[in-house]
Amino acid sequence: MPWSGPPDTFLKDGKLDIDAVVKHFEDIYRSDSSIVIVEVTVTRPRGARNMTMKIWTRGGDKALIVIQQPARDAGTATLKVDTNLWIYLPRIKRTIRIPPSMMLASCMGTDLINDDLVRETSFSEDYGYRLVSPSVDPPGWLVRFDARPGFVGL
């Protein structure tokens, strides 16, 4: 069955209400708990590398991130409880607490920083967004998010 358009909850005066769509997206993103497998590609001038992680969350204050690939990093885990952060390094079989002074350090060789793991992001507050166009494959809408100036993750 072809997609017929957005649900009525996303319409305002017959037009797509982008603010309602972003709020719905945030509600999904901040579910009570989640399990997700994420693939990250880090692109640098000398080449690219891929990383696969499994992430468990409970609320906005607890998360466990375990690297699955590449094999040399497999088993490395990051645990977040409230604003506290620990990293387990399987090669040396040790758990290290990340002090506040290291919160702006790179996380797992990516452009993410440790603070990104403990900071609650709000798409409506930290990003500007706009409707780009309808999407046919997959059916839906393409929304562009741009980080606002001064956002820590830039």
Q: What are the structural domains of the chain?
A: 15-41+48-147 (2.50.20.10)
pLDDT of residue 116: 67
Which of the pair, 11 or 98, is modelled with greater confidence? 98
92-96: average pLDDT:
94
Rg (CA), the chain: 18
Residue bearing the bigger pLDDT, 99 or 68: 68
pLDDT attached to residue 2: 45
CB 9 within 8 Å of CB 20: yes
Looking at per-residue confidence, does 4 or 144 come out higher? Answer: 144
Identify the DSSP state of 113.
B
Return the pLDDT at 68.
95
d(CA 44, CA 51): 14
Q: What is the mean pLDDT of residues 25-46?
A: 79
In the numeric block, the tokens 């990003």 are attached to 127
Identify the DSSP state of 120. Answer: P
Confidence of residue 115 (pLDDT cuts 50, 70, 90): low
Residue with tokens 């069955």: 1
DSSP lists the bridge partners of residue 51 as 40
Q: What is the mean pLDDT of the chain?
A: 80
- Indicate the pLDDT class of residue 153, thresholds 50, 70 and 90: low
Is residue 7 very low, low, confident or very high in pLDDT (cuts 50, 70, 90)? low
Res 11 pLDDT > 70:
yes
pLDDT score, position 13: 79
- CA 11 vs. chain centroid, Å, equals 27
Which is higher by pLDDT, 114 or 32?
32
